[in-house]
Amino acid sequence: MPAIHLRLGAFSAALALLALTASPSAAQKKYDTGASDTEIKIGNIMPYSGPASAYGVIGKTEDAFFRMINAEGGINGRKINFISYDDAYTPPKTVEQARKLVESDEVLLIFNSLGTPPNSAIQKYMNQKKVPQLFVATGATKWNDPKDFPWTMGWQPNYQSETQIYAKYILKNLPNAKIAVLYQNDDYGKDYLKGLKDGLGKQAASMIVAEDAYEVTEPTIDSHIVRLKASGADVFVNITTPKFAAQAIKKNAELGWKPLHFLNNVSASIGSVMKPAGFENAQGIISSQYLKDPTDPQWKNDPGMVALNQFLDKYYPDADRADASVMYAYTVAQGLVHVLKACGDDLTRANVMKQAASIHDLTLGGLLPGIKVNTSPTDFAPLSQLQLVRFKGQTWERFGDILSSDVGG
């Protein structure tokens, strides 16, 4: 019996194919591997296990988001088949998974693969194969390089541009500042540090009086804070991930050290940093943002936030709403949907890159008012605007203009 079914299936498939090629409308439809009349295959690589597994939430949120898109009828009638693999944040495994996605699962593109080392490992391969490596989930500066890597595109504002903005602010408002920097000893921390030094320019050597790095494996960074305080600095640039950021804010208060505190946006979450550190200790901290913070009460009735909550309630009810990764994934998934919609019936890899490189003033529900997605054939950094914010009471207060700073790779 199964054999007959199989035959029948094959026969009807052949018939359908015949009908397709015969109909005139089919002539305008163009597909590369991974796309068809009914389906678009999207690949994704995430660290679901290993040291960076906290970011696995991004993959889960995206999966939930595409389930919602499919339930609502898909994109131009095509369902998204989201295939996400685990690479445990190890580059050799990333290469294996990327090759599996491209050569075995035959996806149209790889979307939002996470981490600087994993993405570096597959960048050359993806460009050789001419498969889009779209909206990579890393803030490194090198993804904006359309000339050498026309098939790779970043997404979020890169780390260097953020600290350059702080540097500009310091130079303008506190020209005699003595700066102490604490950073995480990896690519993320060093990229931030480079941005700060580049932004300060010639004055970097004289203005930065203390520089201290910590390892992500350290249980606490208290001793680093004590050392930085001893340097007598009056500006503190805090380049740390959430757990350490909260420790730093708390320790500052304990020691009675009250410099002007710049906190990188990686840790600008109210729910996971400011609240545990104590609101009274966090007053006056300056940071920058491009996404709305779901734990910030000022967005409670915001339409974008309401939409996010409706989506989470229905498709990902156990999501931790205080986790900034959820908002991040929601926004970047919307970005992909925008690109695929713009592709229309021409779902070739070349057209995907073409549409991704011609986004003009796109606004998304999760972005702060005034921040827009913009790309061009020479600008592969979709988000490059940030808004300075200052912590007041229990929420971030935006101040100044929207600042932009594009740094090429």
User: Interface with another protein by CB under 8 A: which residues?
Assistant: 48-51, 56, 59-60, 84-86, 88-92, 95-96, 99-100, 102-104, 116-118, 120-121, 123-125, 142, 185-187, 190, 215
Shorter beta-carbon distance to another protein: residue 279 or 315: 315
Smallest gap from Cβ 403 to another protein, in A, equals 26
- Measured from the CB atom, is 89 or 380 closer to another protein? 89
Burial class (CB in 10 A: 0-12, 13-18, 19+), 380: buried
DSSP string, 223-276: HHHHHHHHTT-SEEEEE--HHHHHHHHHHHHHHT---EEEE-GGG--IIIIIHH
By C-beta, is 77 or 317 nearer to another protein? 317
Cα separation of 16 and 31, whole Å?
A: 17
Rg (CA), the chain: 23
As given in the structure block, the two tokens for residue 122 are 């597959």
To another protein, the closest distance from the beta carbon of 408 in angstroms equals 16
Q: Between 81 and 116, name the residue whose CB sits nearer to another protein.
A: 116
Tell me whether residue 126 or residue 308 sits nearer to another protein (CB atom).
126
Least spacing, CB of residue 240 vs another protein, in Å: 16
Which amino acid, one-letter code, is at 117? Answer: P
Closest by Cα among 79, 124, 77, 116 to 99: 124
Cβ at position 93, least distance to another protein in Å: 8
State which residue, 118 or 366, has the beta carbon closest to another protein: 118
Angle, CA of 382, 383 and 389, to the nearest 5°: 175
Cα distance between residue 79 and residue 38, in whole Å: 6
In the bound complex, what is the minimum distance in angstroms from residue 92's beta carbon to another protein? 5
Distance in Å, CB of 133 to another protein, minimum: 14
Nearer to another protein, 48 or 330 (CB): 48
Residue 49 class from Cβ within 10 Å (0-12 exposed, 13-18 middle, 19+ buried)? Answer: middle
Nearest-approach distance from CB 158 to another protein, in angstroms:
14
What whole-number distance in Å separates Cα of residue 327 and Cα of residue 408?
A: 26
**What minimum distance in Å lies between the beta carbon of 16 and another protein?**
27
Nearer residue to another protein within complex by CB, 123 or 252: 123
DSSP 371-389: --B--BTTB--S--EEEEE
Q: Cβ 407 to another protein, closest distance in Å?
A: 15
Based on CB atoms, which residue is closest to another protein, 60 or 79? 60
Closest CA to 366 of 394, 404, 408, 338: 338
209 Ramachandran zone, left/alpha/beta (phi>0; psi -120 to 50) = alpha
